[in-house]
Amino acid sequence: MNIRTVTKLAASAAVIALTAGAVKAEESVEVLHWWTSGGEAAALNVLKENLQKEGISWQDMPVAGGSGVQAMTALRARVTSGDPPTAVQMLGFDIKEWAEMGVLGNLNDLANEQGWDKVIPAALQDFSKYEGNWIAAPVNVHSTNWLWLSKAALDKAGGKTPETFDELIALLDKFKEQGLVPLAHGGQPWQDGTLWESVVLSVGGMDFYKKAVIDADTEALSGDTMRTVFDNMTKLRGYFDPNFSGRDWNLSTALVIEGKAGAQQMGDWSKGEWLRADKKPGTDFVCIRFPGTQGSVLFNSDQFVMFDVGEEKRNAQLKMASAVEDPAFQIAFNTVKGSVPARTDVPDTEFDDCGKKGMKDLADAASGGTLAGSLAHGHAQPSAVKEAVFDVVTQHLNGQLTTDQALERLPKAIAAAQ
């Protein structure tokens, strides 16, 4: 070996040593999530940048697919192979299911130090804690019973927002006359389920929603009120465009933004798309509660569930959880995402009118007993039951089941999944 080779070897050994040192010193988090639409990605960037400022690098593990169905499948594969990500975006009952498996970390010290107990509402804590231990950091509160309207189309139709289901139908007829797709809907089971739960609430009110969806009461699931729910779903189906099957939710939002459709029923993540397109509430679009559901809120909360990743990654994980609960982050993130803060001590001053309404509606519903978890977004039933409902609702919406058949199937499918 000549001297040049030795020097070269020594140099590369030094580089390797340096790189290894750098890798060791650099803290990072690997985050599995399904925030892949424009508005969602913009919101997530707020967190990425905040963490980068603290010297924590971000390893992104996006799994596209609204409501996280595909993300949960990807997660199962990772955990089964013994290599869970640092943090995972998750909803409601999925959190409980993972907690039961004993694979999650513990955030108690951080939560106690920062007083999470006092500022995170009980409805969220129910999912952020397991057997009294903090296992997840709630990012936001979304709500599903919203209707998003094109302001231009609404003005052309007389400007009055619909307050009842019949008024909604009358408005959709006017949108049709304007040559628009009246209702932009994406035919995916979770989106069908999101529409269905708004219709359940609209037809039966909160007591009925609780009875049918939360308590899975057989009579409520197969009786006359539920018949009207399925009949109303059939009516709404008549206002979709021919290309609705399989379409992603954000592409339906885009149809309304681009002036091709009049309205979309969707959770308030859809506001993120409007904002991303530089559109303003009250000027370009109008947010109202789905007609007939005023005063009630169906909620879901995205939480970052922290897996048990071992000491090496623990510090970065805690820094991420702490960054998520920072009140300034809660404002910066949620004003972009369309959701409202997961903390009750964050002022609404920075939020637009839809955000302010979202915060007020949530507080009123929580104190008035008209707040309930969204089924379609994992906050009403375990995933097996949720999927059983999706099956019936989607098949009915696509004409594969009559209303009589849907009413017969629904309680049975739920019972079999319980």
List residues near ligand GAL by CB under 6 A: 34-35, 40, 66-68, 91, 142, 249, 269, 300, 302, 377
- C-beta of 249 vs 304, nearer to ligand GAL: 249
Q: How far is the CB of 293 from ligand GAL (least distance, A)?
A: 18
- C-alpha 404/C-alpha 222 separation (Å) is 9
Q: How far is the CB of 108 from ligand GAL (least distance, A)?
A: 25
Q: How far is the CB of 190 from ligand GAL (least distance, A)?
A: 8
Q: How far is the CB of 92 from ligand GAL (least distance, A)?
A: 9
Q: How far is the CB of 247 from ligand GAL (least distance, A)?
A: 13
- C-alpha 297/C-alpha 283 separation (Å) is 24
- C-beta of 27 vs 197, nearer to ligand GAL: 197
- C-alpha 152/C-alpha 179 separation (Å) is 13
Quick check: 414 and 385 in contact, CB under 8 A? yes
- C-beta of 27 vs 40, nearer to ligand GAL: 40
Q: How far is the CB of 269 from ligand GAL (least distance, A)?
A: 4
- C-beta of 35 vs 244, nearer to ligand GAL: 35
Residue number with the smallest Cβ distance to ligand GAL: 66
Within 10 angstroms of residue 18's Cβ, the number of other Cβ atoms is: 10
- C-beta of 35 vs 307, nearer to ligand GAL: 35
- C-beta of 182 vs 186, nearer to ligand GAL: 186
Q: How far is the CB of 323 from ligand GAL (least distance, A)?
A: 18
- C-alpha 343/C-alpha 139 separation (Å) is 9
- C-beta of 62 vs 223, nearer to ligand GAL: 62
- C-beta of 34 vs 127, nearer to ligand GAL: 34
Q: How far is the CB of 327 from ligand GAL (least distance, A)?
A: 20
- Give the phi and the psi of residue 122 in degrees, each rounded to 5: -55, -40
- C-beta of 30 vs 268, nearer to ligand GAL: 268
Give exposure, 73-94, as e/b (b: 16+ Cβ within 10 Å).
ebbeebbeeeebbbbbbbbbbb
- C-beta of 289 vs 409, nearer to ligand GAL: 289
Q: How far is the CB of 141 from ligand GAL (least distance, A)?
A: 9
Q: How far is the CB of 267 from ligand GAL (least distance, A)?
A: 6
